Amino acid sequence: MTTTVAAAAVGTATRAGVEVRLENLQRRYAGVTALDGLSLTMAPGELVALLGPSGCGKTTALRLVAGLEQADSGRVVVGGEDVTGQPTNKRDVGMVFQAYSLFPHLTAWQNVAFGLQMRKVDARQRRQRAGEMLELVGLSGFADRFAHQLSGGQQQRVALARALAIQPKVLLLDEPLSALDAKVRARLRDEIRRVQLEVGITTLFVSHDQEEALAIADRVGVMHSGRIEQLGPPTTIYSRPATPFVAEFVGLTNRLPGVVRGGEVDVRGSRLPLVQPDTADGPAIALVRPEAVSVASGGETAAAPLVGTVIATAFLGATSRVTIDLGDITVLAQLPTSEATALPAGTRVRIAIRADPVLISRDEAAPERA
């Protein structure tokens, strides 16, 4: 299916995206705080991904927007209308679930038409719009199949078509790719983004998979303990993490012991500027990305003061991740594969750390990694 066909197909079903605001949402379960004053404003047509470890409150936030749960306090405003007290079936939201949620007794097109039937759309229009939606997700040839006759990826695409068919004000995606295998997941992720851009619907996407969230979203909100730690474009989240938690949760991070002195941190002779220069002096853990670590050619002691031994190399495609043992700690370096292949296990190397501003951590407890 070409994009042109899809755009034409969706023409009758498109509705301009609306602004969605979550205002100071609080939710507690039996003494456990799931959401602790969460606030988020989504621009019309924007795709925001909530990313975080299990139990951080991201799914709770999405369920509050859907009306599947009620907030203890706070408001959900969709398109200027306060929907906080409205039941789910009156909220005008489309939702794709983590678990396969197609109605097993209905065919794909009947599933897509279900929401339209609930809205009392006449039979002719139902048939037409369900057909358009299935065409939009590339499954027009599968209209007569039941859920058990579809693969996992196809089921989620039908679920997406079903959610979009009712022309909701907001689309909610609750880890829709997590039950799929890696290849299908990557393909469907791109498919979801394409469809979302074509339809122009405001979308909240929840995931614990950072690659998925960073790849699909206009903005990513990294959640921790019921709050958004940092909200921003994927590149900012990755390259300029605001907190040690974000730095450690998003991407890989080396935790290198050092000492803070005068707005810099000294890591075994390498002086690295701090993101927050007014940090008090004293021992700290510098959080350094693997791509900031380089392996120097022999003899450049001043530029590459750290000496270690390569103990493993993980091939990632164009780049490889090399694990280097410095004696008391190990360091990860992300290198071009051509460079990494020249460093078999056991090779003695000198490494340098690029003098990018770094975050430090004084809390030894690492965050839970999903």
Partner 1 sequence: MTRARRLRLRVFRVIVLVLGGAFFLVPIGAMFEFSTRGNRVGAPRTLEAWTTIVTYPDLLGAIRDSLGLATITSVGMLVLLLPTMIWVRLRLPRLKRTIEFLCLLPLTIPAIVLVVGLSPVYRWMAINLVDTIFLLSFAYLILVLPFAYRALDAGLSAIDVKTLSEAARSLGAGWGTVMFRVIAPNMASALLNACLLSVALVLGEFTFANLLSYLNLQVEIFQLGLANAGTSIAVSVASLMFAFILLVILSFFGRPRKRVAPERTGLPYPIAAAGPR
User: Is the Cβ of residue 97 or residue 238 nearer to partner 1 in the bound state?
Assistant: 97
Q: Are strands 202-207 and 47-51 parallel, antiparallel or unpaired?
A: parallel
Q: Please tell me whether residue 79 binds partner 1 under the rule CB under 8 A.
A: no
Task: Give the nearest distance from C-beta 196 to partner 1 in angstroms.
Answer: 17
Residue of 88, 167, 178, 330 interacting with partner 1 (CB under 8 A): 88
Residue of 11, 32, 103, 283 interacting with partner 1 (CB under 8 A): 103
Q: Which stretch binds partner 1 (CB under 8 A): 27-35, 138-146, 253-261, 346-354?
A: 138-146
| Whether 60 contacts 112, CB under 8 Å | no
Closest residue by Cα to residue 20 from 98, 72, 83 = 83
| Whether 108 contacts 100, CB under 8 Å | no
Taking CB under 8 A as the rule, which mask of x and - marks residues 17-56 in contact with partner 1?
A: ----------------------------------------
Taking CB under 8 A as the rule, which mask of x and - marks residues 111-130 in contact with partner 1?
A: ---xx--xx-------xx-x
Residues 141-180 that bind partner 1 (CB under 8 A): 141-146, 148, 151, 153-154, 159, 162-163, 166, 172
User: Is the Cβ of residue 5 or residue 7 nearer to partner 1 in the bound state?
Assistant: 5
Residue of 18, 64, 83, 93 interacting with partner 1 (CB under 8 A): 93
Residues that bind partner 1 (CB under 8 A): 66, 68, 87-91, 93-95, 97, 99-105, 107, 109, 114-115, 118-119, 127-128, 130-131, 134, 138-146, 148, 151, 153-154, 159, 162-163, 166, 172
